Structure 1
């Protein structure tokens, strides 16, 4: 047995069944009593009601998810070697990318890579990490060592500014370097397309890597078309579309002026003149309502909004917002045009999104053909026993 002895917590009878299926969360109601002598974020052993070892994870009495599992192996101690093994497994998976074409990807996807509470994105030779839980926060020094040793990165930046840290009893932090050096901006390649990432100030870790495969899929529809990209941020979909043909025109709409400025720079970075395209700073709903009134028509409409719902309490209103958005999007889409609609709300499922499309189409009395549906890319693996950690839905349709 392990020479290191961890404190332990016992489960109520029959509460280890989900763990036997591989789930990595234990809710506070499953514990017989709060474990003693365990600091917030401290590692402990989980035992069944009969005293049998079940798993090892870290503990937080302040949250509904009391324990997050790190290993089911009683011999596996939570050391820097453990973290190095997990990081090495993650690095191996990302070798599916041709570095000549793509050098930016999600390196650690929390539970999907066996490190709950940790997200790490790689941008060329820079790592940008987000720690969401007290357990991972306690492991930060070991994480830095493991990440730098296993990746060979030049620098590691922590973007611990997520509001979820407050629920864990953690402070919201300013961006800080964990190791090495991190420049103000990093130029990356994605499917041979170039972008500049602001790791220090950009949304999330600086770029939305989870839409890479959808941006690539857009290319086959975009040649010579008139494209509307709503919630365009720094123009990811816009650049892919514009690159397909000099005859392709793209209108990008976002409420953020800095994002619009960055989008134009991305066009220039890929040797596409921004002058032939539109970059509009506006509320998307306001823009679409005006476009409908003016009779605007596009060949392709892209709807990639921020999360409308982050909790079950906001789900009903979120579905109303998605219906309104998709109805407006279809109204500015010419007959036979392509609609790409997305949702990154975790409490909204793929069936919900399909329902929204169907309801919007019925309201407008327009037939819809479902062409392609996507969730996460290969660098955003989802633990098979934890479908609730899946959040992204993207659907290509043809609207008659």
Structure 2
């Protein structure tokens, strides 16, 4: 047995089934009694109602998810070596990327990589980390040390500014350099396309890495076409289309003026002339309504909105928003045009998204062919026993 002994808590009878099936969460109602003797974020062992060791994880008395599992090996300490092994395992998966063409990817995807509560994105030689849970917060010094040792990164920026920290009883922090040196921006490549990333001010960790494979898939639909990219942010989908031969004529729409200006710079960085393209600062819903009234039509429409629902309570309103958005998108799409529509709302499933598309098409008396569907890329693995941690849905449709 391990030389380090952890405090233990026990499950109620017959409450260990999901855990034995591989799930990494234990809800507070499954515990025989709250382990008041364990500090917020502290490591503890989980035992069955009859006293057998099941797993080891960290505890939070302030959330419905009371314990998040780190290991099922009673002899595995939660120490620096443990973290280095998990990081090493995650890195081995990302070796699928050719670093000459793609050097920006998610390195640690929380539960998917066996480190719940931790997200780490790699941008060339810089790591941007987000700690979402009290358990990972307590491991912060060891995490930083392990990341620097295993990755050879030049610096680590900690972006602990997500609202999810409040649910864990953690403070919202300003971005801070916790190891090495971190510049204001860094230039990266993705599938041979160049981007610069502002990980101090940008959304998430600075870029939407989870849409990489969808951006690549879009290329074949946009050669010589007229493309509308809604919620374009810094123009990921836009620049892929504009780099086609023949190039697409792209209209990028986002409510953020800095994001639109960044799009222009990224076009220029890739040797593109901005003059054939439009870069518009506008509310997407307002823009689509005005474009419909003005008779605007596009060959390809991309709808990649922010999450409309971050909780189960917001799901009904979110579904209404997805239906309205897809209706508006189809109204500016030429017959036979391509619609790429996405949802990153975790409580909205693939069937919900397809239902929104189908209902919108019915209202317009149009038929839809489903061409391709995507979820997460290879660098965003999902733990198979935890489908509820999946969030991204993207579908390509032909709208007749």
Deviation at 1:98, TM superposition (A): 0.3
Deviation at 1:178, TM superposition (A): 1.2
SS in 1 for 2:146: helix
Aligned position for 2:118: 118
Which of structure 1's runs of 4+ aligned residues deviate more than 6 A?
none
SS in 1 for 2:69: strand
Aligned position for 1:129: 129
SS in 1 for 2:377: coil
1:330 lines up with 2:330 in the alignment: yes
Aligned position for 2:360: 360
Deviation at 1:36, TM superposition (A): 3.2
The aligned runs of 1:86-125 (5 Å cut-off) are 86-125=86-125
Task: Tell me which moved more, 89-98 or 241-250.
Answer: 241-250
SS in 2 for 1:81: helix
Aligned mates of 2:86, 2:14 — CA distance in 1 = 29
Aligned mates of 2:136, 2:310 — CA distance in 1 = 22
Deviation track 1:185-209 (CA, whole Å, cap 9, x = no partner) reads 0100000000000011100100000
RMSD of the alignment, in Å?
0.6
Aligned mates of 1:309, 1:267 — CA distance in 2 = 32
Aligned position for 1:258: 258
1:83 lines up with 2:79 in the alignment: no
The aligned runs of 1:1-400 (5 Å cut-off) are 1-400=1-400
Deviation at 1:248, TM superposition (A): 1.7
Aligned mates of 2:345, 2:135 — CA distance in 1 = 25
Aligned mates of 1:36, 1:292 — CA distance in 2 = 59
Which sections of structure 1, spanning at least 5 residues, go unmatched? none
What is the TM-score normalised by the length of structure 1? 0.99
Aligned mates of 2:269, 2:234 — CA distance in 1 = 12
Aligned partners of 2:228 and 2:252 also within 8 Å: yes
Aligned mates of 1:340, 1:214 — CA distance in 2 = 9
Aligned mates of 1:178, 1:90 — CA distance in 2 = 21
Deviation at 1:247, TM superposition (A): 4.3
SS in 2 for 1:275: coil
Aligned mates of 2:88, 2:131 — CA distance in 1 = 19
SS in 2 for 1:260: helix
Aligned mates of 2:148, 2:216 — CA distance in 1 = 30
Aligned length: 400
Deviation track 1:147-203 (CA, whole Å, cap 9, x = no partner) reads 011100000000000001011110000001110000000100000000000011100
Deviation track 1:119-152 (CA, whole Å, cap 9, x = no partner) reads 0000000000000000000000000011011100
Deviation at 1:236, TM superposition (A): 0.3
Aligned mates of 2:222, 2:30 — CA distance in 1 = 51
Deviation at 1:245, TM superposition (A): 2.9
SS in 2 for 1:361: helix
Deviation track 1:208-240 (CA, whole Å, cap 9, x = no partner) reads 000000000000111000000000000000000
Aligned partners of 2:241 and 2:247 also within 8 Å: no
What is the TM-score normalised by the length of structure 2? 0.99
Deviation track 1:65-108 (CA, whole Å, cap 9, x = no partner) reads 00000000000000000000000000000000000100000000
Deviation at 1:252, TM superposition (A): 0.3
Deviation at 1:2, TM superposition (A): 1.1
